[in-house]
């Protein structure tokens, strides 16, 4: 099982090696991005039955909030000295054996609201879960792939 200390160590490694671990870098959220993700409307239904962010434990330390459960680890890092104010969120998938970086995004200005950040987190977690489900279906052997003894 991954401990809080391991999550903290991974976060430090992720921040130090963001360009290597997240080749797409940190996504800047703007109106165009929110529109493409269908998150502009306050009543936008999110995929799934319950928002994934409601199922996360939270710990605040070192100027950041670490959110985690058995499937994900997230780090919400307010950029207090930035002008305008911004927040960076790093999202990683996790198992008992490993933590894998998935995506990072930055909200700035009018988009740097908790409601917007939570909607983005829910959307990205749902997308990651959906992708993992599709990948797992491809990894499962079909009856044609099974060997005959």
Query: In this predicted model, what pLDDT tens digit does every residue of 67-114 receive, in sequence order?
Result: 999 999 999 999 988 888 899 999 999 988 889 999 999 999 888 889
d(CA 29, CA 20): 21
Q: DSSP assignment of 98-128, as one string?
A: -EEEEEEEEEEGGG-SHHHHHHHHHHHHHHH
Residue 147: per-residue pLDDT? 53
């Amino acid at each position: 099982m991954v401990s809080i200390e391991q999550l903290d160590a991974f976060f430090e490694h992720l921040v130090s090696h963001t360009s290597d671990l997240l080749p797409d870098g940190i996504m800047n959220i703007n109106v165009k991005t929110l529109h493409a993700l269908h998150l502009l409307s306050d009543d936008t239904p999110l995929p799934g039955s319950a928002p994934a962010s409601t199922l996360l434990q939270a710990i605040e330390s070192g100027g950041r909030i670490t959110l985690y459960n058995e499937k994900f680890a997230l780090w919400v890092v307010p950029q207090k000295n930035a002008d305008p104010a911004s927040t960076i969120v790093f999202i990683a998938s996790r198992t008992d054996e490993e933590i894998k970086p998935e995506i990072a995004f930055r909200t700035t200005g009018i988009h740097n609201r908790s409601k917007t950040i939570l909607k983005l987190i829910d959307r990205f977690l749902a997308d990651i879960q959906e992708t993992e489900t599709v990948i797992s279906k491809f990894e499962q052997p079909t009856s044609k792939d099974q060997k005959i003894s």
